[in-house]
Structure formats: C-alpha cells, structure tokens
Amino acid sequence: MSARILLLALFLCGLNASRDESSVNQELSNIFNELWRLDLNRMTPGIDYNISVQNKAGFVTQGSTVVRDQAPQPLFSSVDEDKMKRTTTFFLLMKLLDNYERSASVSEQYTPEEITEISLFLDAVLETQVMKRAHKYLVSKGKSSSDLTTFKNQLNWIWFHLYNRQRDTGPDSCGFEHVFVGETRTGSEIAGFHNWVQFYLQEKNTHLDYKGFKAGHQDSPDSDDHVLNLQFSWHGAVKPVGSAFIGTSPEFEMAVFTIVFLMNTERSTKVVVDIDQCQLELLVVRHGNSIGTAFPKLLSSNSRHVRQQSH
C-alpha cells in the first residue's frame, strides 16, 4: 500500500470513529458532570419527591389515542412543593409554565407580564453556579460573549424567541414551550414535553395520565433514576415514548441543552454522554438560531442497559 493510500485509509477511519454515534463524548461528559455536581437545586429522590414507576407500558403507534394503562397510580406519589416554591428557579419556572397555548398551531404572543417573567427567570438561572459554569465554558469555546447581558439575550433567543412551527399564521412556538411545556399536534399527538415539573403539575391537575415506563427486555427503572423513558396521555393525546430528566433543576436542563446546541451547527445533533451513573443520548434539533427540540434518552443506568426506541 502506498503511503498516500495508507494516509487516506487512516483519515477515513478517523472520520468513521468521529461519526460513531454510540461513542461517548468525553469532553461534554466532563463539563456535564461538573454541572451535575454544581446542581445544588436538584431535588433528591426519596426525600424531596417520590415516584412510582409501576409497570412497563405497551406499544402504541404515534397518533393513536387508544392505550392500555399499565400504571394505575400516578408517577409522582409525592413532591415537596414547598421546597420547590422556596427554590427561586423552580418557583419562576412554575410561573412560566402556564403562559403557553397548548396547540402548536395557535399563535403565541407575549404579554408585558410574560416578558417580565421570562426576564426574571433568566436572571435567576444566570445567578446559579450551574449556569455560571456553563457560561464560562461557552466563553472559553468562543460560543458566547463574556458580557452577561449579551449572554442573557443569547439564552433568551435560543429558548424564548417565538417562531412558526406549524403554519404561516404567525409564531406559534418556541424552544421553551416545546421542551418544558409540551404542545399538541392535530389534537392527538403530543410534541415535546420533556420537563418533570410540568409532568408533575399536569398529573396533579389530572390533565395527564402516566401509562408506564418504557424499557428493554427484563429491565426496569429505579425510583431514584434521574432520567426516565415513559408513556403518558395529556388532554386525550398520547406520547407513545417520552423521556425526561427527573429531579434536576431547570438551570441544569437549560445549561446542558444550550451547550449541545451552541457546540454544533447541524440541524439535528445527537451526543452520547456519561452523567453521574447514567449513559444518556442527548438530542437537540435547531430551528434557526433557536431550539426546536431537546431531550435526553436513557441508554443505561448503573450496569443496567436500556434498549428501546425513543423520540
């Protein structure tokens, strides 16, 4: 083999290795573990909240509203709401959650009060050690300005800028709404909806019904897992396979997805990372300069390996 062909072969091997989606991104794992350790606002399973995962959910096709309930009890058996209300970022998150229209095709418009709520929420998020560390990391990578106001505006655009997801009838969605609040499409499909606080609040108000967990053969999640793959219905629509961080603070979720979003330029980015005891796949899809969707999927927890489809 000539040297040139050998070099070409090595180059192609390198390309393959970097495209291997199952290989763990070590640099992102390192920064995310730092953020994990800094996440003092994270709620503790068995103390601040208790969940009951119950049984494995069955197979349901997207768009179907017929689903067997494998979980007679709610997912959240108890949550220390007083503690959440005393934690500024959780408190402000809960105020934001009721600001959005559920249907993705209904136009959104911020009222002056909502603009203020978003601003207060971002200020609180920027005060946390988690977001301060994420900011420092993004500045070191040349992805964000070290100026705090400029960084706040960048976060605001990524998460709260309103855009058209469905039709040309005006802005109907934003990254925050899709990821943290959830939207319904054609009345029978749930789009987005990956935040555990929203899950808990909607379940408490009986708008949401947990149907069971999703996991591979002979696998079942533990009640202290911080990422869950699950099935649920919401206002009559069904999410065949959903997934969410559980117990984590809003600043942690925002920081992680903002970093994946800013470190990549593709329309859709998938990275595999090890955080704490879990191996996760993080998927971030862009919509211009904003987030279209972003969610985690549990690949394995401790030595358990989870094999299944998620979207």
Task: Choose the binding region for ligand NAG from 55-63, 77-85, 108-116, 297-305 (rule: CB under 6 A).
Answer: 77-85
Task: Choose the binding region for ligand NAG from 44-52, 115-123, 144-152, 253-261 (rule: CB under 6 A).
Answer: 44-52
Separation of alpha carbons 145 and 169, rounded Å: 34
Nearer to ligand NAG, 48 or 219 (CB): 48
Task: Choose the binding region for ligand NAG from 43-51, 114-122, 130-138, 217-225 (rule: CB under 6 A).
Answer: 43-51
Task: Choose the binding region for ligand NAG from 40-48, 174-182, 262-270, 293-301 (rule: CB under 6 A).
Answer: 40-48
| Tokens of residue 178, six digits | 């899709």
- Residue 140 interacting with ligand NAG (CB under 6 A): no
What residues contact residue 98 under an 8 Å CB cut-off, 6+ apart? none
Eight-state DSSP code of residue 235: T
From residue 146 to residue 185, what is the string marking binding to ligand NAG with x (rule CB under 6 A)?
----------------------------------------
Separation of alpha carbons 84 and 78, rounded Å: 12
The kind and range of the H/E element at 242 are strand 237-245
Among candidate residues 56, 178, 226, 297, the one labeled active-site is: 178
Question: Least Å distance between CB 95 and ligand NAG?
Answer: 21
Among candidate residues 56, 214, 239, 297, the one labeled active-site is: 239
Separation of alpha carbons 148 and 165, rounded Å: 29
Identify residues 80-109 at the interface with ligand NAG (CB under 6 A).
Answer: 80
| Tokens of residue 30, six digits | 């390192």
Question: Least Å distance between CB 213 and ligand NAG?
Answer: 19
* Total of chain residues touching ligand NAG, rule CB under 6 A: 8
Identify residues 233-272 at the interface with ligand NAG (CB under 6 A).
Answer: none
Nearer to ligand NAG, 48 or 189 (CB): 48
Quick one: 2 exposed, middle or buried, by C-beta within 10 A (0-12, 13-18, 19+)?
Answer: exposed
Residue with the CB atom nearest ligand NAG in the bound state: 78
- Residue 78 interacting with ligand NAG (CB under 6 A): yes
Query: Which of 195, 247, 277, 246 has the alpha carbon at shortest distance from 29?
Result: 277
The reply to whether 239 belongs to the active site is: yes
| Tokens of residue 58, six digits | 């069955």
Separation of alpha carbons 1 and 117, rounded Å: 65
- With helix as H, strand as E and coil as C, how does 171-239 read? CCECHHHHHHHCEEECCCEEECCCEHHHHHHHHHCCCEEEEEECCCCCCCCCCCCCEEEEEEEECCEEE
Question: Least Å distance between CB 78 and ligand NAG?
Answer: 3
Question: Least Å distance between CB 182 and ligand NAG?
Answer: 24
- Residue 50 interacting with ligand NAG (CB under 6 A): yes
Tokens 């955080």, residue located: 275
What DSSP string runs through 138-153? HHHTTSS-SSHHHHHH
At residue 182, what is the residue type? G
At residue 92, what is the residue type? L
Strands (E), 118-187: 183-185
Question: Least Å distance between CB 246 and ligand NAG?
Answer: 14
Nearer to ligand NAG, 1 or 47 (CB): 47
Q: Which residues have a catalytic role annotated? A: 178, 194, 239
List residues binding ligand NAG (CB under 6 A).
Answer: 46-50, 78-80
